[in-house]
Structure 1
Amino acid sequence: SKGGLSSIDDVDPSNAYDDADTFAVVGICLEVTNWSLGELMENFGDFFVVWAVEVGYDKMLLAMANNLHDFLDNLNFMHYFINQCSFHSEMRGPNFKCIQIDEETLQLQYISRRRGLNALVLGLVYRAARVLYNIEITIGITTVTEYARDTATDIHTIYKIKLDTAPPHSSTTEHFSKSKKKDHSLIESANFPVKLRDFNQIFPCHICFDRDLIIEHVGSFLLNEYNLGDRKGMRLK
């Protein structure tokens, strides 16, 4: 009954719990494991990615990007979708920005008003790289800076992410960073017909609507995941 919960059945997955309640449970975990807060949060981040994939979120996560750089850059959109569309939560999400230093090095910037979560990102990113993109990385915190605002404090954490190319891993940059070499031959071709069916496959999460906010078509992922095939002409509110 510690932390106000008698069993796992008392946890409501759709509820955004207050940080005080969450860290009460974290405190119990620290007592049981004898880990530091950083170790616990990093391991939980690692576990959370595995859990998300096992319960079926792998399709959504894989649809976000083809490489780790773009995936990290799209985390802001994912948090907005989860907070506003799935759980209708007013919780202020974190802000991510990923910068490519070179083809084997990324810099991730993480800004949050919630303390104690920057170690969580270490486990999340490490496991996401392995599970989603089959690459090995090393990730560490470079700097942590706090900025006082009128009503809260922003905690700005910068991470350095390196692709592990040493044997036995020998990870390639294909699913890690953006390639500097771009071939525009197809795009610049005068004849580049794209059928709607192909467009929906290329952009599985897109939504196309007209001036009256009537949905014209959506990507294949949204079409199948949310059974939208029979809901043509639906208006965006």
Structure 2
Amino acid sequence: MTVKDTIYAQPHEAVGEFQFDESVVAVFPDMIQRSVPGYQTILTGIGELTAQYAQPDSQLYDLGCSLGAASLTMRRKALTGCRIIAVDTSQPMIDRAREHIEGFHSDIPVTLQCEDMTETVIENASVVVINFTLQFIEPEARQLLVNRIYQGLRPGGILILSEKIHFNSEPMQQTIEHLHLQFKRANGYSELEIGQKRASLENVLISDTEATHLDRMKQAGFEHANIWFQAYNFASFLAIK
């Protein structure tokens, strides 16, 4: 049973920085479904792209795996002989992800690692997924991570990167932000919840523009990269080595 996200439903005397702790883990499925437009479509797409690009006897990476939703999607579509490595810095997330993953039988092994994805060794990879996690990494560390992913991918391998993005045009930014706020309101979040969560994420989630993401991939060596799905200010990129 999905637990409803009520973390910010009551006034907080001081809103601390957002953390992926036990309280967030308990309500995470509800939180992300009600906050991220197109999330389920992205998961479905990750599965289909895995079916298309996963190579025999290769490794598939889920960097910032949270509860393992992308790992489970990849595992359903991966080839026998592939191995999934799921990484997250939050031990509560890893613990709950293990429960979710062990609840489904598969011949595709999943290794869960509690570590900083910027320190994860990427090798013999055919699919790497970063699903709404790069935005929580220090901006100066992002290019180095994408570089290492490119270097660890086999020829023909892919990076799937999903992120909240922002726009250089202020009228466009305000309009898209309004649409996203209406999405959250329609999903039952109050003005108090929206405001307190925004405050908690202010210095934690640092977004980039579409152009910044594409330039970063180009610098890493990817010749083919573009957005394959977008809903408001949430986009998923595909880069092919």
Q: Same fold (TM over 0.5)?
A: no
Q: Which fold has the larger relative contact order, with Cα–Cα distance below 8 Å and residues 6 or more apart in sequence?
A: 2
Short-chain TM bin: under 0.3
Give 1 or 2 for the bigger CA radius of gyration. Answer: 1
